[in-house]
Each structure stands twice: as C-alpha cells, then as structure tokens.
Amino acid sequence: MEPLIKTVAGVFSSLAEAEHAARDLQGLGIPSDDISVIAGNQENRHKKYLARVKRASLTTAEAATSGASTGGGVGIVATLVALSIPGVGPMVASGALATVLAGLAVGAVGGGVIAALVNMGFSREEASLYEEAVRRDAVILAANVTVRVENEAMAIMKQHGSRDIREQVAAFDPHPYPWDDSVRAAEPPGTIDAPEG
C-alpha cells in the first residue's frame, strides 16, 4: 500500500532560499514535478536573480561560481515562468502549479489562485493566506511528499529559512484578515471584528 501524499509548504524571503530548499528536497527523493514555487513579482523584483540562474544553468562551471543552485544542471528556479494573475498581479511560478496558473492567466479567472492551491491540498483558509503572501511578494515553496518523508521535508525547508504561513501573516502590516484568530493576538486593541453573515 502506497503511503499517503501530503502537501508541505513554506514561505521564503527570496528565490535563492527557496531554490536551495528545493534542491535538498530533490535530494530527499522528491521528484521535481512534485515541487512548485510561486513568488510575487511586483516591479520585476526577481529579474536579476532569474537572469543569473538562467545563465548559470548553461554550464556547471558558471553555476558553481554564481551561487545559484542548479541540482543536476537546471534548478527549479530556472524553469520559472512569468505570469499575471487577475486579483493577484505579477508573479513567477514553476512546477505543477505553474501549468494551472498559466491557464488562469489566459482565462482571467478571479480567485483561481486559491482554487489551485486548494486543489493541491491546502485548506481554503491556508490558500487565502498563501495567496495574500504571494500578493505581498513572498516566495512560496510547496511539495507533494509521502507521509514517510513529511517531517524531513519540513525540516529541510526550515533549515533554509522557511516561515510558517501563520507566522508570516502575523508580520503583515496591516494584517489582511484582522478578524482571523491566527492574527488577532498580534493586532492592537480596537481592531475590527469579523463581518457577520
């Protein structure tokens, strides 16, 4: 009997962190097709890093001197595609989610990022928070893993600087969902209550 598949994810402050984590996840035996990266890309903020990674992927020597992780020749970041999703804005994505999101960009389906994340295994609440993190230019690394390696995969992400989505939300200023219990403790007194209905 095959072990159950789980989705693990982390929030990173840079593509470099996510790239190094993705490389180690692949080293754990997780196929690259099961690893996705999504990052907000307002004002083309990742342009220089992406250009460097693409150059570095051409030769092993360049890769070694660039500081970019290439894991077998072409790193997951080198496969990122640029998209613009209605309601979220410019982003870059790779992996299975990139295919889904590319369809959303063409079809201009509002709220589709949340649906894509829910389809990957996130709860609707988590998907909303991850979408907000992407809107605020965070980098999300997600992977489908077996239960057997779930804890090890999460440890790898943590080692490379990942933060839990709820920790990230607590750092948002202003908080996008002040009525959510996960951020209420960080809100100053007088915060609005959840809308009724």
pLDDT of 73 > 70? The answer is no
Query: In terms of Cα–Cα distance, which of 124, 144, 134 is closest to 168?
Result: 134
Q: What is the pLDDT of residues 52-63, one digit of tens each?
A: 766 766 655 455
User: Amino acid identity, residue 27?
Assistant: G
* Residue 3 banded pLDDT, cuts 50, 70, 90: low
pLDDT greater at residue 169 or residue 2: 169
pLDDT greater at residue 178 or residue 2: 2
Q: Residues of 78-99 as b/e, b for ≥16 C-beta within 10 angstroms?
A: bbbeebebeebebbbbbbbbbe
| Longest CA pairwise span in the chain (Å) | 60
pLDDT above 70 covers what percent of the chain? 69
Strands 89-94 and 81-85: antiparallel
CA distance 3 to 46: 36
pLDDT of residue 105: 57
Q: What is the pLDDT of residues 110-128, one digit of tens each?
A: 456 788 888 888 888 888 8
pLDDT of residue 174: 56
CA distance 192 to 105: 34
pLDDT of residue 143: 93
pLDDT of 185 > 70? The answer is no
pLDDT of residue 70: 43
The number of angstroms, rounded, from the C-alpha of 182 to the middle of its chain's C-alpha atoms is 20
- Classified as helix, coil or strand, 172 is coil
20 Rama sector, left if φ>0, alpha if ψ -120 to 50, beta otherwise: alpha
Q: Which residue has the tokens 């190094």?
A: 20
pLDDT of residue 11: 92
State the CB neighbour count (10 A cutoff) for residue 108: 11
pLDDT of 161 > 90? The answer is yes
pLDDT of 109 > 50? The answer is no
Q: What does pLDDT average to over the chain?
A: 74
pLDDT of residue 26: 92
List the structure tokens of 89: 């804005």
Determine the average pLDDT of the residues in 20-46: 88
